[in-house]
Structure 1
Amino acid sequence: MNPEFNPADPFAMFRQLLQSATPPGAQPFLPPMSEEEVDRKIAELKVVETWLTMNLGMLSMQIKTLEMQKAALAALKPKDK
């Protein structure tokens, strides 16, 4: 086990990897991008947005279907007199 391991700091390993992977003075989370790279990233994010929107629609439809099923079961349940 690494002698610098600290269970109270779960991100220490990631911080160490990030520091060793980036040259001094570089911005690790905002690398310089060309216009083509920015356009490609926008297109990728739009695909993800579309996929998430589709999944949200399917989830909403499933919730509504289950609510309708619950209402139907409640309507068919015999009422006590």
Structure 2
Amino acid sequence: MSQDHSNDPFALFRQFWQQATPPGMQAFLPPMSEEEIDRKLAELRVVEGWLTMNLGVLSMQIKTLEMQRAALHSMRPKDPPPAKP
């Protein structure tokens, strides 16, 4: 650790981050060029669309199950009223 970090207070942290970052984590680091930013935005919009579609499907499944439960409940035989003495 003979490097002089007095001019840049974050140099040590930056060096640690570069050494600790596995190759797969590079995708989570901020892009540097405008083309990379545009590409990343397009990718994220595709993922957002996919997630939105899945959320719609999930909501539809929940509503369908709720309607099935209500239908089963309405077809259940009613308990007779208690007998009066």
Q: TM-score range by the shorter chain?
A: 0.5 to 0.7
TM-score, normalising length from structure 2? 0.61
TM-score, normalising length from structure 1? 0.64
* Residue type at the aligned position of 1:56: L
> Which structure is higher in helix share?
2
Q: Runs of 4+ in structure 1 displaced over 2 angstroms? A: 28-31
- Number of aligned pairs? 59
User: How far apart are the structure 2 equivalents of 1:30 and 1:41?
Assistant: 10
* Residue type at the aligned position of 1:62: Q
Consecutive unaligned residues in structure 1, runs of 5 or more? 1-16, 23-27
Change (3 A) 1:19 1:35: closer
Structure ID, larger Rg: 2
Task: Kindly indicate whether residue 43 of structure 2 is the aligned counterpart of residue 44 of structure 1.
Answer: yes
Consecutive unaligned residues in structure 2, runs of 5 or more? 1-15, 22-27, 81-85
Identity of aligned residues (%): 71
Higher relative contact order (CA 8 A, sep 6+): 1
